[in-house]
Structure 1
Amino acid sequence: MSRSDDDTRTVSLRRDVPVPMAVYKVVMVFSMLIAIVLVVGGFSLVDSATDRGTADPDDVDPVLALAGVGLVATGAVVYVFSTRFRAEEMENAKDADDEPSDNG
Structure 2
Amino acid sequence: MDHRTAPDETDDDSDGDVDSGSGFDSSSSSNSNDRTEMEPESGTSGRREVVVPLRLYKTITVFSTLIAVVGILGGFIVLDVATNRAQADFSEVNIAAAILGVGMIVAGAVTYAFSTRFRTTEMGNAKDDTDEHSDNG
Summarize deviations over 1:37-77 as a string: whole Å, max 9, x none: 00011001100000111111110001100000000000011
Q: Distance in 2 between matches of 1:30 and 1:86?
A: 15
- Highest RCO, 1 vs 2 (Cα 8 Å, sep ≥ 6): 1
Shift of 1:14: 4.1
Matched with 1:26 is 59
- Map 1:5-84 → 2, pairs under 5 A: 8=24, 13-84=46-117
5+ long unaligned stretches in structure 1: 1-7
Q: Distance in 2 between matches of 1:59 and 1:11?
A: 49
Q: Which amino acid aligns with 1:69?
A: V
Shift of 1:95: 3.8
Q: Distance in 1 between matches of 2:125 and 2:118?
A: 13
- Specify which structure has the higher proportion of helix: 1
Q: Percent identity?
A: 47
Q: Which has the larger radius of gyration?
A: 2
Q: Distance in 2 between matches of 1:73 and 1:95?
A: 30
The TM-score, its normalising length taken from structure 1, stands at: 0.78
